[in-house]
Amino acid sequence: MPVSTVAAEATVAVASNFTAPANQLVEEFEAQSDHDVRLVFGSSGRFFAQISNGAPFDLFFSADQEKPQELIESGLAIDDSLFTYALGVLVLWSRYEQLIQTSPAVLSSNQFNRLAIANARHAPYGVAAEEVLSNLNLLADLQSKLVRGENIAQTFQFVFTGNAELGFVAKSQVYQDNNLISGSAWQVTEDLHSPIRQDAVLLQRASTNDAALEFLSFVRSNRGRSIIESYGYVVGD
């Protein structure tokens, strides 16, 4: 990782599913750098709108591929900085240890009143959740039980607090080093939804921002990739 002699600061818009690994990435980056990185978490859709309207972000870690590409096409992001930093993994999770028996069978039962999913209008994980339900032929039957979070972080909170007995969340929220932290879960099989390819991009305003450039380099390093994988993501070549 190149080292700059002048300290700089970068502000990074990060999809909320990536909260835990992003925090660890920044912690380790700042421990070996003079630069500061400030993280802001939220839904990719809202960040896209904010950046399009001039919000002062330097980097955008989206939960999909489309929004970073659109920012490039509109001249707000740098083309050759674009890369897929992670492939997201969707899981059905409950804080109750016996509710999910490592399969989606609970979805067709009457053992729950509320199923939390992210809002598909703003969150790619919500799109994936709806695809899963549709492919299981359950989307219409479960409409009355769905509660939608603004983003995947709020979706997780619905389940964590018991406002919904189960929900589709990011694997990174409930697994660490491939071990389920609590409750019960079923990891959704890849054939039930489109790949959740998560892209990052450097925004035009940060083309000479050393903090942003060096943080991107760290994320793409072997150590950065190892951190990302430890939270249940798949990292490509």
Query: Range of 38's domain?
Result: 9-87+197-230
**Residue 237: inside a domain:** no
Residues 177, 172: Cα–Cα separation, whole Å: 9
Give the C-alpha distances (Å, rounded to integers) separating 27 from 31, 83, 201, 214.
6, 22, 20, 14
Average pLDDT over residues 136-153: 95
Confidence category of residue 5, pLDDT binned at 50, 70, 90: low
Same domain, 72 and 138: no
The verdict on 81 and 96 lying in the same domain is: no
Whether residues 127 and 166 fall in one domain:
yes
- At residue 7, does pLDDT exceed 70? yes
Q: Would 156 be classed as within a structural domain?
A: yes
Is residue 140 a contact partner of residue 108, using CB atoms and an 8 Å limit? no
User: Is the residue at 4 inside a domain?
Assistant: no
Q: Are residues 141 and 204 in the same domain?
A: no
Q: How many CB atoms lie within 10 A of CB 60?
A: 26
**Does residue 175 sit in the same domain as residue 124?**
yes
Indicate whether 43 pLDDT > 80: yes
| CATH number, domain with residue 96 | 3.40.190.10
Phi, psi of 148 (to 5 degrees): -105, 125
Q: Is residue 178 part of a domain?
A: yes
What pLDDT is attached to residue 1?
52
Instruction: Note whether 17 and 83 are same-domain residues.
Output: yes
Distance CA 181, CA 168 (A): 16
pLDDT beyond 90 at 195: yes
Contact criterion met (CB below 8 Å) for 203 and 4 = no
Contact 80, 68 (CB under 8 A): no
| pLDDT band with cut points at 50, 70 and 90 for residue 178 | confident
Residues 142 and 216 in one domain: no
pTM for the complete prediction?
A: 0.82
Residue 237 pLDDT level (bands cut at 50, 70, 90) = low
120 and 105 part of one domain: yes
Q: Can you tell me the distance from the alpha carbon of 64 to that of 196, in angstroms, rounded to the nearest whole number?
A: 6
In the predicted structure, residue 152 carries a pLDDT above the cut 70: yes
Evaluate whether residue 69 is within a structural domain: yes
Structural domains in the chain (count) = 2
Domain check: are 113 and 182 in the same one?
yes
Regarding whether 161 and 100 lie in a shared domain, the answer is: yes
